[in-house]
């Protein structure tokens, strides 16, 4: 939703900050449950000295008429009035809610004659300013009484025009004041992206303008532009529906996601809960539930769409299931997991998130007697439905699963017990990106299809891949259409190319891509079996210049950049059609785009759309979904039916419905779900009317707006005389007690005329074929189509298989159709899901349980959690080995490299390369040496003597500086910890006995750090109870212990590098006097 209502206090605060001196500053004090009156009065002393006005501030209309305003009262009276109503249930129309927020203001004494009315609201072509010289509670029908001033987009009304058009009945002493106020008010209205602003009454007295009552809406999509001007904005729930923390949680998820996640709780005690994919589909499911008598039991409205991840879907499902299982219902509860045929959302991925939540709530699902009904289709839906069926067999909860062979809303009547459950459907014959062998042999529901359809005038239009769009009138797409794609949307481009190929186009429709965040290059794609390169340009101008035949721009620009990129596109006359996919573009920007496009004669599809499709010719981006749906819906060749819809998701469902009930789609366009789509229903319906290849039309409208009435008028005056099947979704809106904003920004009725019920009635009266509900839409389309067949308008004939499109390797792997040996194996870490896993442990648990660096190493190096003492010992090893001064070889090399101007990685590598048997790398060798000696049964003296006889040094023994008289405190610390905390230390004890012998010969032959860590780690691995003897041996042999020194000393090397950079040390050159120059003597003969 874009236009969102704000509290009166919020609106007045915005005007106080931005209106300047055009009106007196609004003084007000918000009062809510828990407010301290003493504090409020101390902060606003005028509350004690002036008469006051108090009223609820909860988006309640006509408060004066409802007796919800107290005027000219003292503080005590106001406090008493608020206390009597705070948290008390109040009936406002059909809605019942509790009053929790009030507004206290100074009472402005004035005669009735000083009151007036002003309102500004936005529409497709500009803004309207309404003014009436009388205002207040008894103003009556403002639309009939008020005078209006229409302000075109990007225009500003002058004081003179305002005075002339609006203030004819205002007394002369007030005209200038009010005119200046309205001008300033309109400037603020535009600058702050208001969509509605009403002041009633506006009082002018004593030479000042006072704003008494205010109602306003902001374009919430403009937050990224207006955040600094707005500050923090709260959008309260409509009166009668409290905002729940779960709704706020989903709203927060939605704000942080590129997907769309919406949740509105209608009745927490309701029996029927929905979890629906798609904005349009979510409305239709609610409609159907209400039409079938379930309005009073409908618990929620919501939707998830835009390819949410598995984790996001899990969070969404978990939230709904949590609410659903808070209280029981005597009849049990119903969960409808529905949706249309997705265009690009991976159904399996989202269903895995839902399944995860279902498994988590299994006991409660059984306890609350919940039945689940599933219907979904789209990319990878076969896997998604399989997963859902499998979980149904293990949960102990009845789950009934259906795919695209079942009408979208048929599961509602099944869930409500109105229709019996059908037998398990047969699996589809198509899948993913190719046609399965024999798949075309199965009879489709419209079994009378033939290779081409023939109109009664004798002209034939190919019904398969030889169609060339011979209609020469106004058409958006043909078999020769060329497009440029804005954005690095490789998946959408490949989908378009696959569609081109299956339609037997001679060459790809996408000729170039524009991506301003990289340099010019070429991107590889597939054309059937062959690889091709499509150029990618940094600058749009270069793309246009090098591809003058491109006439369509498909823009995947984000909501923040879509406006600028579209304006740039409109500068190139070669572009005739622009599709804007992004949702959430600020409405003022969209209206400017529409104005510019209209002036230039460019067709704009969107914003907030998936696009459009002309079977056999061209499709926009992800329209039509994956290849399995394109094949199943026969979108590779034209049919006889053209449709126009607002919803992108529902356009794919219409493809399916039309394919199952007629000879297929000729053209389909989703104009977009925003309040101001670039083109209207009529723009496309008139094209369909003029195209002789279109034999019948389908219109899918929705609640909100009045564009459908233009269609009604066109039907009445015969500008459209082709058979039209029409249905407007959102019929459920009138059954809700409080206002509900549906999935699309434009799907909200602001007047009775904008309701879906009123529109459906008007369309039926105008001559359209209107079914009783969406459930019957397919039957109505089939009925009209069969009538045209009987009249000979269409002669259906046999179907011809299209070319086979190869499946992408990545998608075949996703579907589990192929397998391939992996190039790498990893058993310690997994980054594929929503959360990083260390040896199977989520990173959030690693942090939450404070495993520390030692714990992380235990997971990544040893694939298990070690005891806390073991993790502590590992951390101590890292600390004591971190550094040993700048003189040791590794630190020296790091310093020299750093001073030579090398980077951190190079300097660190230089130091690490010195680690070996002579420096720091003796941990493994010491561990093996002492371990083997201990295991052999040789006493320490025998071991020392044997090493001496062999002429070998004892690794891990000896120090250049430290001795028995000057012990290494690092060794002492580690030794004491191991002896005190390890379960057993036989190898360490053995090494200490060896040390007694070696130090008796020479005091510096002590057990050094390498030796101590080596032998202690042997004891830890062998006796911690976490490893088998074989595992312990393997970890020692593969270099694990040396890894401790490498990791620890890396910290010191990095420290030396940073130290040299910080000291700004220059290039190191070793001094001559520290080098012995001994050259050979040359004898000259």
Closest of 825, 836, 830, 709 to residue 768, by C-alpha: 709
Paired sense of beta strands 333-339 and 272-277, if any: parallel
CA-based nearest residue to 1, from 695, 1011, 745: 745
Q: Which of 327, 353, 329 has its CA nearest to residue 337? A: 353
User: How does strand 665-670 pair with strand 612-614?
Assistant: antiparallel
Sign (positive/negative) of CA torsion 495, 497, 499, 501?
A: negative
* E strands present in 319-398: 333-339, 370-375
Dihedral pair phi/psi, residue 615, rounded to 5°: -50, 135
Give the C-alpha separation, 663 to 134, whole Å. 60
Phi-psi category of residue 857: left, alpha or beta, with phi > 0 → left and psi -120 to 50 → alpha: alpha
Say if residue 355 is preceded by a cis peptide, omega within 30 of 0: no
Interatomic CA distance for residues 402 and 656, integer angstroms = 14
H helices within 19-51, ranges in order?
Answer: 37-43, 46-49
**Ramachandran angles phi, psi of 633, nearest 5°:** -95, 5
The CA distance from 274 to 320, in Å, is 8
**Tally of CA atoms within 13 A in the half-sphere of 576 that contains its CB:** 11
What does residue 131 show for φ and ψ, rounded to 5 degrees? -145, 140
Q: What's 146's DSSP letter?
A: -
Q: Are 521 and 529 in contact (CB under 8 A)?
A: no
- Beta-bridged to residue 385, according to DSSP, are none
The alpha carbon dihedral of 1005, 1009, 1014, 1018 has a sign of positive
Residues sharing a CB contact under 8 Å with residue 696, sequence separation 6 or more, in sequence order: 640, 641, 642, 662, 722, 723, 724, 725, 784, 785, 788
Residue 69's alpha-carbon distances to 37, 91, 108, in angstroms, are 19, 15, 14
Q: What share of the chain is helix, strand, coil (3-state, %, to 5)?
A: 40, 20, 40
- Residues shown for the chain: 1085
Closest CA to 27 of 132, 81, 108, 121: 108
- How many other C-beta atoms lie within 10 A of the C-beta of residue 422? 12
Among candidate residues 482, 487, 602, 638, the one with its CA nearest the CA of residue 546:
482
Helix/strand/coil for 71: strand
Do 1018 and 958 meet the contact criterion of CB atoms below 8 Å apart? no
How far apart, in whole angstroms, are the C-alpha atoms of residue 11 and residue 18?
A: 11
Closest CA to 586 of 615, 561, 622: 561
CA distance 511 to 500: 12
- How far apart, in whole angstroms, are the C-alpha atoms of residue 579 and residue 485? 10
Contacts of residue 232, Cβ cutoff 8 Å, sequence gap at least 6 = none
> What are the Cα distances from residue 784, in Å, to 12, 723, 724?
55, 7, 8
> 837-852 in b/e burial notation, b at 16+ Cβ within 10 A?
bbbebeeeebeeeebe
Q: Which of 132, 133, 744, 1056 is catalytic?
A: 744
Q: Does 547 participate in catalysis according to the annotation?
A: no
Catalytic residue numbers, as ranges:
744
């Amino acid at each position: 939703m874009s236009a969102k209502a704000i509290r009166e206090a919020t609106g007045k605060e915005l005007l106080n900050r931005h209106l300047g001196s055009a009106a007196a500053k609004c003084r007000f004090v918000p009062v809510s449950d828990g407010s301290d009156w003493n504090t409020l009065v101390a902060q606003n002393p005028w509350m004690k000295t002036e008469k006051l006005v108090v009223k609820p501030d909860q988006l309640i209309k006509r408060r004066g008429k409802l007796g919800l305003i107290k005027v000219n009262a003292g503080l005590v009276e106001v406090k008493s009035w608020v206390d009597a109503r705070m948290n008390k249930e109040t009936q406002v129309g059909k809605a019942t809610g509790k009053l929790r927020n009030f507004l206290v203001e100074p009472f402005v004494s004035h005669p009735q004659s000083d009151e007036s009315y002003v309102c500004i609201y936005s529409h497709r072509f500009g803004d309207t300013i309404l003014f009436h010289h009388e205002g207040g509670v008894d103003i009556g029908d403002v639309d009939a009484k008020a005078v209006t001033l229409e302000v075109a987009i990007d225009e500003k009304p002058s004081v003179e025009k305002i005075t002339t058009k609006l203030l004819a009945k205002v007394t002369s002493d007030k005209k200038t004041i009010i005119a200046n106020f309205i001008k300033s008010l309109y400037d603020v209205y535009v600058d702050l992206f208001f969509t509605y602003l009403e002041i009633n009454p506006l009082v002018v007295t004593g030479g000042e303008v006072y704003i008494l009552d205010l109602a306003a809406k902001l374009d919430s999509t403009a937050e990224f532009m207006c955040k600094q001007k707005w500050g923090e904005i709260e959008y309260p729930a409509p009166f009668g529906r409290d905002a729940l923390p779960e709704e706020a949680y989903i709203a927060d998820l939605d704000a942080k996601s590129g997907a769309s996640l919406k949740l509105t709780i209608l009745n927490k005690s309701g029996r029927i809960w929905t979890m629906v994919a798609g904005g349009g589909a979510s409305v239709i499911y609610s409609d159907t539930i209400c039409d079938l008598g379930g309005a009073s039991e409908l618990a929620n409205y919501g939707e998830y769409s835009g390819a949410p991840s598995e984790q996001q879907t899990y969070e969404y499902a978990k939230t709904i299931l949590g609410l659903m299982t808070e209280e029981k219902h005597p009849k049990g509860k119903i969960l409808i997991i529905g949706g249309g045929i997705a265009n690009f959302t991976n159904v399996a991925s989202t269903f895995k998130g839902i399944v995860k939540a279902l498994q988590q709530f299994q006991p409660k699902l059984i306890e609350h007697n919940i039945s689940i009904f599933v219907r979904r289709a789209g990319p990878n839906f076969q896997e998604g439905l399989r997963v859902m069926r499998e979980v149904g067999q293990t949960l102990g909860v009845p789950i009934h699963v259906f795919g695209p062979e079942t009408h979208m809303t048929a599961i509602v009547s099944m869930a409500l017990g109105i229709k019996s459950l059908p037998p398990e459907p047969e699996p589809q014959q198509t899948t993913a990106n190719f046609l399965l062998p024999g798949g075309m042999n199965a009879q489709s529901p419209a079994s009378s299809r033939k290779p081409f359809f023939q109109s009664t005038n004798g002209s034939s239009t190919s019904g398969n891949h030889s169609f060339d769009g011979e209609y020469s009138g106004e058409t958006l797409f043909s078999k020769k259409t060329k497009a440029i794609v804005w954005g690095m949307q490789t998946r959408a481009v490949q989908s378009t190319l696959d569609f081109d190929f299956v339609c037997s186009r001679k060459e790809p429709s996408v000729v170039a891509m524009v991506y301003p965040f990289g340099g010019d290059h070429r991107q590889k794609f597939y054309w059937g079996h062959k690889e091709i390169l499509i150029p990618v340009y940094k600058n749009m101008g270069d793309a246009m210049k090098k591809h003058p035949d491109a006439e369509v721009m498909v823009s995947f620009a984000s909501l923040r950049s879509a406006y600028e990129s579209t304006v740039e596109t409109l500068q190139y006359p070669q572009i005739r059609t622009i599709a804007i996919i992004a949702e959430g573009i600020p409405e003022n920007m969209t209206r400017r785009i529409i104005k510019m496009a209209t002036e230039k004669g460019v067709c704009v599809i969107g914003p907030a759309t998936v696009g459009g499709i002309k079977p056999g010719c061209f499709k926009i981006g992800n329209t039509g979904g994956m290849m399995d749906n394109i094949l199943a819906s026969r979108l590779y060749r034209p049919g006889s039916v053209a449709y126009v819809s607002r919803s992108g998701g529902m356009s794919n469902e219409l493809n399916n419905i039309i394919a199952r009930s007629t000879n297929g789609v000729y053209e389909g366009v989703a104009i977009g779900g925003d309040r101001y789509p670039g083109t209207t229903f009529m723009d496309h319906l008139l094209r369909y009317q003029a195209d002789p290849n279109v034999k019948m039309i389908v219109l899918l409208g929705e609640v909100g707006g009045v564009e459908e009435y233009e269609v009604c008028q066109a039907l009445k005056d015969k500008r459209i005389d082709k058979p039209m099947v029409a249905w407007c979704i959102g019929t459920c809106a009138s059954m809700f007690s409080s206002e509900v904003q549906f999935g699309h920004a434009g799907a909200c009725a602001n007047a009775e005329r904008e309701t879906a019920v009123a529109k459906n009635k008007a369309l039926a009266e105008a001559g359209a074929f209107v079914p009783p509900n969406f459930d019957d839409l397919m039957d109505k389309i089939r009925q009209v189509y069969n009538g045209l067949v009987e009249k000979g308008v269409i002669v259906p004939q046999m179907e011809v298989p299209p070319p086979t499109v190869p499946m992408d390797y990545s998608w075949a792997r996703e579907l589990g159709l192929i397998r391939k040996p992996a190039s790498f194996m990893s058993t310690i870490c997994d980054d594929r899901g929503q959360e990083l896993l260390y040896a199977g442990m989520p990173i959030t648990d690693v942090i939450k349980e404070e495993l520390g660096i030692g714990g992380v190493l235990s997971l990544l190096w040893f694939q298990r959690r070690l005891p806390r003492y073991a993790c502590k010992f590992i951390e101590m090893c890292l600390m004591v080995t971190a550094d040993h001064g700048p003189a040791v070889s590794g630190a020296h090399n790091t310093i020299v490299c750093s001073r030579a101007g090398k980077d951190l990685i190079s300097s660190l590598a230089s130091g690490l390369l010195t680690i070996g048997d002579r420096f720091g790398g003796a941990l493994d060798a010491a561990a093996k040496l002492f371990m083997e000696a201990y295991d052999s049964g040789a006493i320490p003296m025998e071991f020392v003597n044997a090493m001496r006889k062999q002429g070998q040094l004892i690794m891990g023994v000896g120090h250049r500086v430290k001795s028995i008289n000057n012990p290494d405190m690092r060794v002492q610390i580690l030794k004491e910890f191991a002896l005190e905390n390890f379960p057993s230390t036989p190898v360490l004890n053995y090494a200490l006995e060896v040390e007694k012998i070696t130090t008796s010969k020479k005091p510096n032959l002590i057990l050094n750090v390498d030796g101590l860590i080596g032998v202690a780690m042997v004891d830890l691995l062998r006796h911690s109870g976490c490893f088998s003897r074989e595992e312990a041996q393997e970890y020692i042999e593969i270099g694990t212990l040396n890894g401790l020194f490498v990791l620890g000393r890396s910290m010191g090397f990095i420290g030396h590098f940073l130290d040299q950079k910080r000291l700004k040390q220059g290039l190191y050159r070793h001094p001559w006097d520290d080098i012995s120059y001994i050259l050979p003597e040359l004898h000259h003969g």
